[in-house]
Structures are given as structure tokens and as C-alpha cells.
Amino acid sequence: MLRRLFKLVFQLVMMAVVIFLFTAAWIIFDGLNDSGGKADVALVMGHPVGGVERTLLDRVVELYQAGEFPAIIVSGTEAKGNFDHAAAMTEYLESRGIPAGAIVQNRREGNTSETAHRVAGIMKADHLESVMVISDYYRITRLKLALGHEGVAETEKAHVGKFQKEDAWNIGREVVALYDYVGTVYLLPAALKAKDEAKVGLENASADAEKAKAKMGKSLNNLDK
């Protein structure tokens, strides 16, 4: 019995490892392969460690000057010391010749899902249909999924960086974050919906049973008479 249990646990662990590695490989492949053409707006996702990522923003400038998009949404957090990352990215882009009127700031304080929701709202308000995600290659898959869930049908992508062993931690974290997002946004609501439907079904069945019981009781009374 113990041997069978050990074998089952081993198989489950190996399955989890295979799924983890497959997902990591997909994130790398998807992130490193740019797709799509021009877009209505670019979404620049910054992740500060106390400053702006020049490589990321230089890529934005390059694509803007090539006519890939006419507007840019810069999405940044407030890091320690009240550093306004969105404002800092905007300032850098303007210093490289991007007009202030072409930049929209999105200061994000929540998770990827909330950020995608706000970006989708900005796009809807400005009647924009397509977006080009520009970020580190290993973040692109989850960003695309979140935007698609918010109704952004056309998502292009342009990555920054190349695969290197130093990215292993970030890629592993993205795998976990991706499944956490899928569970929170897709699986949990579906489970709650199924639970509610089962509850309603049980209540209806109970009500029908009570009606049938009352009807049967009435029939028996008539027979007694």
C-alpha cells in the first residue's frame, strides 16, 4: 500500500514538473517571437528597481518612429521612495522626441488583471481596437492573456531582451503567476458558478419533491374518503 502511494506521489510530481517545464518553454517561445503589424496604441509595462529601463523605452522610441503605433500607454508602479515610474518613463520618452500628447500614463497599484482592465478601459474610451504589448519577453504571455480576457481582441507584441540563464528565476515566477491568473480569473469563477447552479438545482428538486409529496398526500386522502 505504501509503495503504491509513493508511486502515485512520484507520478504526480513528475507530471507537475513536465507541465511546469512545458509552460516555461511556451512562455520563452511566445515572448521571443514578435507577431502582428501596426497597432492603434502601444502598452509599455515597466517594472522598476529604482529607475527607468532605457533598453525598454529605446525600443518603444524605435517602433514609434517606424510608424508602428501613434500613441503609447505607459504603465508603471510607484516604487520605494515615492518614485513615480509612469512619470519617469514619460519624461524619458519625451526627451527622445515622443510628443507629450501621444503618451497616456497608467499608474498601476494592483495586479496584472486590474492593469489590463484599466488599459482596456482607456482603449475603449479612445475607440482604440488594437494594442502592441512591449515588455520583457517573459512577461508577454500573461499580459496578452489578461488583455484578451478584458475584451482586447487584437494584441500585437514586441519583446525586449534575449533568453539567458539569469532569467530562470523570472521565468519560473511567470509560470506560477500565469497559473495563478488562470485559476483566479477562469477556474474559480467557473467553480463558483457550478456551485451556485448546483444549489439552485437542489432547491428546485426539493421544491418539486415537496409538491409531489403534497399531491400524493391529497390523493391518498381522496382514496380514504
Give me the residue spans of the domains in the chain. Answer: 33-163
Rounded alpha-carbon distances, angstroms, from residue 153 to 9, 15, 68, 119, 128? 41, 33, 18, 13, 11
Supply the pTM of this predicted model.
Answer: 0.76
In the chain, DSSP assigns E strands to 41-45, 72-76, 78-79, 83-84, 103-107, 130-136, 154-160
Give the H/E segment covering residue 5: helix 2-32
Per-residue pLDDT of the chain (225 residues; tens, 9 = 90+): 777 888 888 889 899 999 999 999 999 999 999 887 789 999 998 765 545 688 889 999 999 999 999 999 998 776 555 677 888 889 999 999 999 999 998 876 567 888 888 899 999 998 999 999 998 899 999 999 999 999 998 899 999 888 888 889 999 999 999 999 888 887 666 555 555 555 555 555 565 556 655 565 555 455 555
Geometric angle at alpha carbon 107, from 96 and 141, rounded to 5° = 85
Cell triple for 173? 515566477
Q: CA 179, CA 27: separation in Å to the nearest integer?
A: 12
Q: What share of the chain is helix, strand, coil (3-state, %, to 5)?
A: 65, 15, 20
* Protein fold of 33-163: Rossmann fold (3.40.50)
Cell triple for 113? 488583471
